[in-house]
Amino acid sequence: MHIANPIYDVVFKYMLEDNKVAKLFLSAIIGEEIIDLDFCAQERNVELPKSAKENVPLTVCRTDFSAKIKTEEGFKTVIIELQKAKYSTDLMRFRRYLGLHYQSSDNTFDAKQEKARQIYCIFFLDYGMDLPARPVLKVNYNVYDVYNGDEFPPSGEFVSGLHHCSWIIQIKRLKEKRRNDLEKILSVFDQSKLTDSTKHILDVDEEIFPEEYRQIIRRLRKAMEDQDKRREMELEDEIVKEIQDKERQIEQMSKTIADKDQTIADKDQTIADKDQTIADKDQTIAELEKKIAEMIKNIKTNNR
């Protein structure tokens, strides 16, 4: 089945705008049953550079949800922060955005006491990092007795309010074998399934996709058939190309500046070496003049 490539921000957002699809998708990642899900997009408009064909804004999203999750004790509500990154420099953006979540009074419950909601972070990384070579990783917090190593359940308002769970999906690792339902679901991000040079369309095997999650690929199929979404993917390509071109220009400028700085440093070192040579010669001449003066003095003394 041909589907739109969810590596594109516009397709990624479109997929998650369907509440049923979003609940299925996020429940599969966090391994918990989401009962209710409210979509709260944090958007920013990016104007296409002047050199692009059309001066049309493209919306790129950081995606947030407020989720009600069924637990053994009853229910809990959490904030799910979902971000997708194409560049390693996005790490600092993640930190800043996570900080905003911790500061925001909107991410609380119980208006009287303003208690903090737990935060779940899901990261889709499309670049290599110093992480274990696995498609999906979970980072959790643990509570230990420092004295004897006893471990306790990571529960309670203090711990959950100040610590967060994270799931890391490494897109470049998804081309490996599908070991469970989650890895089969995430195969929609497998970039080895591209069908053409535009990178807009993936060819996925519907048969390996778990039946209960096939709404996800149907949603992505619908995105592929939407001409507006196809055009927005092209606009996103143009933005990425402009960014990459500017990054190359900046890198070249930085290299040129570094080369000039090195040339100046080399010249400064040459001048310093020459100054030291002159100083050494002056010292040698001074010592010779002193010896000559002593020799003349001795000759005069002996001639008396």
The predicted-structure confidence for 18-61, as pLDDT tens digits, reads as follows: 999 999 999 999 999 999 998 775 544 444 444 444 444 434 45
Q: What is the pLDDT of residues 172-210, one digit of tens each?
A: 888 767 889 999 999 999 988 898 788 899 998 888 888
Q: Is the pLDDT of residue 281 over 80?
A: yes
pLDDT of residue 87: 61
E runs forming strands in the chain: 2-4, 33-46, 58-70, 75-85, 108-109, 115-116, 118-125, 136-139, 143-144, 151-152, 165-170, 201-203
CA 81/CA 94 separation, integer angstroms: 10
pLDDT of residue 251: 74
HEC string of 102-151 equals HHCCCCEECCCCCEECEEEEEEEECCCCCCCCCCEEEECCCEECCCCCCE
Contact assessment for residue 123 and residue 94, using Cβ atoms and an 8 Å cutoff: yes
Q: What angle do CA 171, 94, 180 make, to 5 degrees?
A: 30
Q: Is the pLDDT of residue 136 over 50?
A: yes
Q: What is the pLDDT of residues 86-123, one digit of tens each?
A: 665 566 666 676 666 666 666 566 555 567 778 888 98
> How long a stretch of residues is the chain?
304
pLDDT of residue 32: 93
Nearest to 138 by CA among 160, 126, 120: 120
